[in-house]
Structure 1
Amino acid sequence: MDFLRPTSLADALSAKADQPEAVPIAGGTDVMVELNFDHRRPSALLDLTRVPELATWEPTADGGTRLGAGVPYTRIITELGARLPGLAMAARTVGSPQIRNRGTVGGNLGAASPAGDTHPVLLSVDAAVELRSVRGTRVVPVREFYTGVKRSVLASDELITAVLLPRAGGPQQFSKVGTRNAMVIAVCSFGLALHPGDGTVGTGIGSAGPTPLRATEAEWFLTGELADGDLWESPKPLTDSVRRRFGELVAEAAAPIDDVRGSAAYRRHALSVLARRTLGWAWQDYRTGGDQRCA
């Protein structure tokens, strides 16, 4: 097995073009597990830890954030909690401190596992993924990035270089259910973002379908309820019937299976509960203008 260690993005893209079969590795929290269990035996590994362009973040002209694919979860928590509240919440649920020190959103996207913790948040805020190769750069909306179980639109000669996230104009939330409190793959997860600027709602479902999913009908329903009641301008507590219906629509959007971590029926039930709870927390934050509470 070849081990490639570029020290610049240009060198990394050149190496990927020369050896498209080379598997990128940064934190290694997914790739090394597959190697250790002999589930994967690539001809080459492309170590990206010495590529400085991937390990930075910066504000964008429109007030958003360009997050380098190699920025670890720990830095998202400590440096970006105010700018990217939903992503910081999801980052806090990832593995152990050691894994959060190594793991990255770029790696989560590269693996494209339906259970990846950051996917629901990225969907809820309508993020985009920056892909580069020696042929050029393209930006793909995250809702179009996933194509199947651990599959994406990423071409064989491309690298994920950054994630583009809009400014958080309102409260964001993330919550997940696991078989224990830490160091666990999600049985299911849910991300929610309120967008008062344009009066819309964003959602993301994890670990309950072949890809991460959006609950589109739930978004439409809640957007309509908030608009019809003039609740963006005059926020009042949401009725139990609205929260319950929102949870039902989120559960209906899922396409779960039975596996060792949980049944399809349990996943749907859990998602309806997570959706009701995250909506309650996010709306309370919107009404009071207070600090966002963590799930």
Structure 2
Amino acid sequence: MDFLRPAGWAEALAAKAEHPAAVPIAGGTDLMVEINFDHRRPEQLLDLNRVAELQEWEVGADTVRLGASVPYARIVAELGGALPGLARAAHTVASPQIRNRGGVGGNLGTASPAGDAHPALLAAGAEVEVESVRGSRRIPVDEFFTGVKRNALAPDELIKWVHVKRATGPQEFAKVGTRNAMVIAVCAFGIALHPDTRTVRTGIGSAAPTPVRAAAAEEFLAAALAEGGFWDSGRALPPALAGQFAELAAGACNPVDDVRGSARYRRHAVGVMARRTLGWTWESYRRGAAGSTSGEGAA
């Protein structure tokens, strides 16, 4: 196994162009497990730890530009105001040691249906900026996942930035697992209220071949909030409305039975999480926390 160690981004792109099969490594959260158990034996590893840009982030007026290797621990500590849903998801990742190493870029590159960052990125409406020696492009996160552990990256492309819309309303993330730490999600759910556009977005993890949005649930809730005047009045949501949202969210799942949980359980759990997270976000909105998007400085 060859170990490629570029000193900067241009060198990394050149190495990836010359060795398209080279597997990028930064935190190594998922990759090293596969290598240690001999489930994967790449011919080349592309070490990105010396690429400084990937460790940087910047909060703009409307979006956050997040480097692919910014550790989860920094997202939790420094970006909770601008990206509350992603910060909540990052807080559930593995152990403190892994949160100090792993980042969103690796999660996206692995493209596991159970990736903790994915529901929050779907709910927030992120775009993944990828680059090669041929140029750069942005991929909406909705289009990034193409199959089980497969993504839309071309063989010579690397993830550089993740552009995430700054929160204009409350966001939540919930995960079901066998314990609170060091566990792969049985299923997960993220929700974001976007009062500026009066829309709702969701993300579901580990309950379909790829991370997915509950589109029918989003459309139902957005219409119900508008038609009922809830955005302006801030009234409590009727239990029947929350129940219908939960049912539609569960219906968006296409899970399987495995050692971590049955398909039936996953559908049920997603419905429960959808109802609960909707309740939490709406109560936060009613309390006036919808505009809590305190600015952060660039790293």
Fold similarity call, TM over 0.5: yes
Name 2:41's counterpart in structure 1: 41
Measure the CA separation in 2 of the matches of 1:289 and 1:91.
25
- Cα distance in 1 between the residues matched to 2:258 and 2:136: 38
1:115 maps to 114
Map of 1:149 onto structure 2 = 148
Find the residue that maps to 1:98 and give its secondary structure.
helix
Q: Percent identity?
A: 65
Name stretches of at least 5 consecutive residues in structure 2 with no aligned partner.
Answer: 293-299
Equivalent in the alignment of 2:254: 255
Q: Gaps spanning 5+ residues in structure 1: where?
A: none
What residue number does 2:23 align with?
A: 23
1:168-206, CA deviations, whole angstroms, 9 ceiling, x for partnerless residues? 110000001001111100000000000111110000000
Aligned twin of 1:13: 13
CA distance in 1, matches of 2:10, 2:69: 15
Structure 2: distance between partners of 1:155 and 1:93: 30
Q: Is the 8 A contact 2:169 2:289 kept in 1?
A: no
- Read off the aligned partner of 1:253 and give its amino acid letter: A
Deviations 1:64-122 (A, max 9, x none): 10000010000101111111000000000000000100110000000000000010011
Q: Secondary structure at the match of 1:183?
A: coil
RMSD: 1.0
Report SS of the residue matched to 2:16.
helix
Q: Is the 8 A contact 2:170 2:289 kept in 1?
A: no
Shift of 1:265: 0.3
For 1:222, the equivalent position in structure 2 comes to 221
Q: How is 1:1-295 mapped onto 2 (pairs within 5 angstroms)?
A: 1-60=1-60, 62-290=61-289
Instruction: Spell out structure 1 runs of 4+ moving beyond 3 A.
Output: none
Measured in 1, the distance between the counterparts of 2:149 and 2:110 equals 6
Deviation at 1:126, TM superposition (A): 1.1
Distance 2:289 2:57 in 1: 26
Output the amino acid matched with 1:37: F
Question: Which amino acid letter does the alignment assign opposite residue 68 of structure 1?
Answer: G
CA–CA separation in structure 1 for the residues paired with 2:202 and 2:79: 21
Partners of 1:206 and 1:289 lie apart in 2 by 29
1:33 partner amino acid: V
1:63 is displaced (CA, Å) by 2.1
Deviations 1:257-288 (A, max 9, x none): 00000000000000000000000000000000
Q: How far has the Cα of 1:290 moved from its partner?
A: 4.0
Give the TM-score normalised by structure 2: 0.96
**C-alpha separation in 2, matches of 1:173 and 1:59:** 20
Letter in 2 for 1:242: L
How far apart, in 2, do the equivalents of 1:8 and 1:75 lie? 22
Counterparts of 2:24 and 2:50, CA distance in 1: 12
Amino acid at match of 2:287: T
Number of residues of Structure 1 aligned to a counterpart in Structure 2: 291
1:123-163 CA-partner distances (Å, limit 9, x unpaired): 11110000000000000000000000000110110000110
Q: Deviations over 1:213-263 (max 9, x none)?
A: 000000000001100111111110101101111000000000000000000
Secondary structure of the structure 1 residue equivalent to 2:204: strand
2:82–2:167: 8 Å Cα contact kept in structure 1? yes
> Using the alignment, how far apart are the partners of 1:104 and 1:181 within structure 2?
20
Partner of residue 296, structure 2:
none
Q: Report the AA paired with residue 33 of structure 2.
A: V
What amino acid maps onto 2:7 in structure 1? Answer: T
Kindly provide the CA deviation profile for residues 20-43 of structure 1, in whole angstroms up to 9, marking residues without a partner as x. Answer: 111000000111000000000000
What TM-score do you get using the length of structure 1 for normalisation?
A: 0.97
